Amino acid sequence: MADFNEIKKYIYDNKSLVLSTVDEVGNPNLRHIGGYSIDGKDIVFQTRIDTAKINEISNNNNVALLFQHEGQQAPKNVTIYGKAEKLNETEAEQAANLIKERRPQLNYDPQVNVIFKVTTDSVKILDFAAEQKQVVVAADQLV
pLDDT 10s digits, 57-66 = 999 999 999 9
Range of the domain at 81: 4-141
Structural domain count of the chain: 1
| pLDDT score at 30 | 97
Interval 16-75: pLDDT, tens? 999 999 999 999 999 999 999 999 999 999 999 999 999 999 999 999 999 998 777 666
| pLDDT score at 102 | 95
Whole-angstrom Cα distance, residue 27 to residue 70?
A: 27
| pLDDT score at 61 | 97
Interval 84-98: pLDDT, tens? 999 999 999 999 999
Query: Of 37, 121, 35, which is closest to residue 80 (Cα–Cα)?
Result: 121
| pLDDT score at 1 | 47
Whole-angstrom Cα distance, residue 8 to residue 140?
A: 15
| pLDDT score at 129 | 81
Query: Of 70, 78, 65, 64, which is closest to residue 2 (Cα–Cα)?
Result: 78
- Given a cut of 60, is residue 107 above it in pLDDT? yes
CATH number at 112 reads 2.30.110.10
